[in-house]
Amino acid sequence: MKSDCIKTIVCQERKKDPIEMFCSGRLVKVCAPMVRYSKLAFRTLVRKYNCDLCYTPMIVAADFVRSLKARDSEFTTNQGDCPLIVQFAANDARLLSDAARIVYPYANGIDINCGCPQRWAMAEGYGACLINKPELIQDMVKQVRNEVENPRFSISIKIRIHDDLTRTVDLCRKAEATGVSWITVHGRTVEERHQPVHYDAIKIIKENMSIPVIANGDIRTLKEAENVWQITGTNGVMVARGLLANPAMFDGYEETPLRCIWDWVDIALELGTPYMCFHQHLMYMMEKITSRQEKRIFNALSSTSAVLDYLTNHYGI
């Protein structure tokens, strides 16, 4: 990992600084932290198609600190993987600061997951339950700032909103006062899953902040991203499922182009992506361009060679 450290520092010296991006006045396009999916190979792919900033999947800070095996399996990067934010699930300031110290040489910053609504995460004191614990968030931010003194190393949070938006604004103001670099707002409450996103709430939060704010939730096309950016007045937009379905979305494609599919094949094979992940990404990408019968055939394939044969026979190289 020492060589990766050197390469990452070189990358940072090329001025790929997230804070500078957010202050540029243009739309900053962000790939969300997605469990199992937003790993190095997928980040490499979306960066080819105009994605400005990528997050790792959520990593449990306690496991990351205590287990070398967890570190090796959960976090990989390389020279081109920049700028990069490592997202952690944490409920302990000391463990989070230890985790931040470990990834500091290889990333531009860390993000604290304060928005995951899954029951297991909230039962462990992670994710969206933290929006009701502003003092704990403040303590975690302070500890990381004390551990990593470089002011260019960002500390951000990703949140959901309260039913009472004044509580969310208060939370964000406290986080800002403690030294948070930016805040990503998913415009739904903890209880909401598929209900419309409250972009008006994101706009109000942005109007009350001096630091950058990223809008998140139900963005599927570049046009939608630009509309949300304009409506909310935020500094950027974060996309999850929209990028899974179309990794070239930020480059203006309405559906995944064949070139992007072959780019994924090349990247995944080069980086040794496990078959399940390799195949699953292709199923997402090909959702809109295959018939129901073709989906049944493709989804049943069980080996890399079978997938390559199918793609070659149906779409050429």
* Residue 293 annotated as part of some ligand binding site: no
- Helix (H), strand (E) at residue 188: none
Check whether 280 is labelled as a binding-site residue: no
Cα–Cα nearest to 109, from 60, 166, 148: 148
Q: In this structure, what DSSP letter does residue 131 have?
A: G
Cis peptide before 83 (omega within 30 of 0): yes
- Ligand-binding site membership of 101 (annotated): no
Asked if residue 34 belongs to a known ligand binding site, the reply is: yes
Asked if residue 35 belongs to a known ligand binding site, the reply is yes
Neighbours of 50 (CB within 10 A): 14
- The residues near 261 (Cβ < 8 Å, ≥ 6 apart) are 282, 285, 286, 311, 315
116, burial (CB in 10 Å: exposed 0-12, middle 13-18, buried 19+): buried
Is 114 among the catalytic positions?
no
- Rounded CA separation 122/96 (Å): 17
Pull the structure tokens for residue 119: 């029951």
3-class DSSP state for residue 37? coil
Q: Name the H helices within the chain.
A: 2-12, 18-22, 40-48, 61-66, 68-74, 93-103, 119-123, 134-147, 165-178, 199-207, 222-232, 241-245, 258-271, 275-285, 292-299, 304-315
Pick the catalytic residue from 11, 51, 114, 116: 116
Q: What are phi and psi of 268, to 5 degrees?
A: -65, -40
Instruction: Please tell me whether 241 is known to bind a ligand.
Output: yes
Q: Which residue positions form the known binding site?
A: 33-35, 87, 186, 240-241
Q: Which residues are catalytic?
A: 116
State the binding site for FMN.
33-35, 87, 186, 240-241
